Amino acid sequence: MKSILNIAGIILLALLINFSLSAQTDKNLQKELTSKSIKEARQETKKLTKQGFFVARGAIPMDKQLESAWMMQLEKDENGAPKYIVETGNSTAETQTAAKIQATEVAKLSIAGNITSQIAALIEINIANQQLNNDEAASVTKIVGASKTLIAQELGRTLVVVEMYRKIGVNTEADIRLAYDLKSAKDVAKKVIRKQLEDQTKILQDRLDKIMDIK
């Protein structure tokens, strides 16, 4: 009985040490991430301020907005992959509101284009593995490539991490940076692409399942 208790004690101690080391590692990584984000944000703020950019009255200061953007760009998930897609949209219009709306749409399209490219590369691998004929493979590739706009429309609410402006003559230029959770973006994109493939091809359901079997 005493021997069993000793073994249990050793196991418990090992688990506590492992937990402590893991927590310390996470803390160090977070500290490094924050430090790098602050450094990059300060440098970018100086550059953009010199170019005439400013934030709207009452908004979070530019350096803090950029710091958040860099944090998201550098943050990794448990597998070491980027956790967020961060893209920028830029537009010039007669009013600040119009410029913001247009720049936001450009940024959303950039997010959709980014995730479409990632999924297209994975689907290409599955196309080869499923040995589709040339017509089927061409149709899948074409449909995936044409899905960017539909994906952008389905993204829903995006997180605005940077919003700044500058005057260009009588017009206003808007620079909008959006962030979107990478996993959620992939789920949206796969749903859109899957529906397009079902509607526009005659590929059997089980083969579609394997083509769309991407992580």
Q: Please report the beta strands in 18-130, taking only residues with DSSP state E, as ranges in sequence order.
A: 84-93
pLDDT, tens digit, 9 for 90 and up, residues 62-114: 999 999 999 998 888 888 888 999 999 999 999 999 999 999 999 999 999 99
- 160's tokens: 């605005």
- Bridge partner list, 86: 179
Residue 12 confidence (pLDDT): 52
What DSSP character marks residue 82?
B
**The tokens 């959303």 sit on which residue?**
108
- The model carries a pTM of 0.79
Burial class (CB in 10 A: 0-12, 13-18, 19+), 125: exposed
**Count of H helices and E strands in the chain?**
7, 3
Residue 178 confidence (pLDDT): 96
The CA dihedral of 61, 65, 66, 72, to the nearest 10 degrees, is: 160
Read off the amino acid at residue 16.
L
Residues of the chain with pLDDT under 50: 5, 8, 13-14, 16-17, 19-24
Residue 19 confidence (pLDDT): 47
Residue 53 confidence (pLDDT): 96
Over its C-alpha atoms, the chain yields an Rg (Å, rounded) of 23
Residue 22 confidence (pLDDT): 43
Measured distance CA(160)–CA(178) in Å, rounded: 5
Measured distance CA(193)–CA(158) in Å, rounded: 20
Which element (helix H / strand E) includes 111?
A: helix 96-130
The structural domains of the chain, with segments of one domain joined by +, span 2-211
